Chain A
Amino acid sequence: DIQMTQSPSSLSASVGDRVTITCRASQSISSNLNWYQQKPGKAPKLLIYAASSLPSGVPSRFGGSGSGTAFTLTISSLQPEDFATYYCQQSYSTPWTFGHGTKVEI
């Protein structure tokens, strides 16, 4: 199974900050990497797919980069509604696996 390691597990930030979350795969997954945002009591929401593509409706302050084993989610200017937990997920091979999450809080 491919292990996904996220860091940090949590971070404190302020509105307007630039935030970076990293995700590492235990083996190369090309660009088969997705990011999800989850707010308390809610279902996850797709944020980034194929490492760097934004679904329609996702604000452009969210960006993804990387390939192979190292990936990054960047929020260019943190907004109040961005305080949430973020998960990476590999879609290279089953079992699909998620990182343990990064909680972004004030």
Chain B
Amino acid sequence: EVQLVESGGGLVKPGGSLRLSCAASGFTFSTYSMNWVRQAPGKGLEWVSSISSSSSYIYYADSVKGRFTISRDNAKNSLYLQMNSLRAEDTAVYYCARDDFWSGYDAAYRFFDYWGQGTLVTLSS
């Protein structure tokens, strides 16, 4: 059974830092790209960052570029998000999500097929 378990959330002051972790099990972690997606209280979903299976390709949303760093340790089946210079608008539940794809006849189609339960990050002075 695929499981993704996030941890590391909590209350932090604006300008502070936090490191989120996502422990993966039930699948061959090293062969999948992974993502962080967040959801502010009462709001919709916002993709934050992606990392390819070997960490060769990394992407960020403009809203976090230069402040957040995604990484992974395939030996530990773990995904991380280092968040620096945190702002009030970073308050959200942060989900890790597995990135899979389906090869159609003309292209590969990507989707987030498994999600963790989320970890809450709260910014408050």
Listed in ascending order, the chain A residues whose CB lies under 8 Å from chain B are 30-32, 34, 36, 38, 42-46, 49-50, 53, 55, 87, 89, 91, 94-101
Contacts and interface: CB of A to CB of B under 8 A. Distances in A.
Contacts of A44: 37, 45, 95, 112, 115
A98 B47 contact: yes
A26 to B, nearest CB: 16
A66 B116 CA distance: 29
A100 B104 contact: no
14 contacts: A32-B107, A43-B117, A44-B95, A46-B112, A46-B114, A49-B113, A50-B102, A53-B102, A89-B45, A89-B111, A94-B59, A95-B59, A96-B35, A96-B47
Q: Which of B47, B111, B112 has the most CB of A within 10 A?
A: B111
Interface of B: 35, 37, 44-47, 50, 59, 61-62, 95, 102, 104, 107, 109-118
A40 to B, nearest CB: 11
A94 B50 contact: yes
B61 A95 contact: yes
Contacts of B109: 31-32, 49-50, 53, 91
Nearest to A1: B62
B110 A91 contact: yes
A46 B113 contact: yes
A6 B124 CA distance: 32
A100 B112 CA distance: 17
A44 B96 CA distance: 11
Nearest to A42: B117
